[in-house]
Amino acid sequence: MITRRANLPRVILEPVALTPDRDLPGPVLTELAELYASNHAYHALSGDFPDPYDIRAEQVAVALADEVRNPDVEILLARSSGRLVGVAITLAHHPDPADPDPWIGLLIVDANRQREGHGRAVATRVEDRFREAGRDALRLAVLDNNPGALAFWTALGYEVIGHRRDRVLDRPCAVLRKVLR
């Protein structure tokens, strides 16, 4: 989907096409590993990798293994001028049946391309995808120790609706929601 909005860079989202064995293709995994590795500061906060300054393709493959197997998850590569500038991982249905909204599980922009509007462009395209699918709202969680991410999402119109621990690593998070009109 290509949607051009004023003041946003041109970003194309493309779902990852898995191999017949339902794995990430090697070239995509290499690109994702480079993207993840560029985000030392985020990974230092998240604790997702043992050494945020030495993130390898094998580690990214392990980190994404559950997402690749989940039919409700979509891994969206964000490209600008053919180059990977970000990734968004979305969840169409939360495991909690009381939660009606889809989720953005992760949005990362290449650290070398941050502050150029790519994060805003990717978030906007993800919102457009869910809006076009007839979804009413979108949720995400921000680690409590990441005030920069909280500022980013609230600037995009997301509102804090609660606090809880994340489901995988039990980290404290703010839960945000945005109504899609």
CATH of 12-135 given 3.40.630.30, 3.40.50.300, 3.30.70.330, 3.30.479.10? 3.40.630.30
pLDDT in tens, 74-111: 999 999 999 999 999 999 998 888 899 999 999 999 99
pLDDT for 3: 44
SS3 assignment, position 163: strand
pLDDT for 5: 57
Q: How many C-alpha atoms does 101 have within 13 Å on its Cβ side?
A: 18
Question: Residue ranges of the chain with pLDDT lower than 50?
Answer: 1-4
pLDDT for 97: 86
pLDDT for 4: 47
- Domain boundaries along the sequence of the chain: 12-135
E-strand ranges in the chain read: 12-15, 73-80, 83-91, 103-109, 137-143, 159-165, 172-179
Q: How many C-alpha atoms does 75 have within 13 Å on its Cβ side?
A: 21
Q: What is the pTM of this model?
A: 0.92
SS3 assignment, position 84: strand
Cα separation, 14 vs 97, in Å, equals: 28
Interior CA angle at 138 toward 171 and 96, to 5°?
A: 55
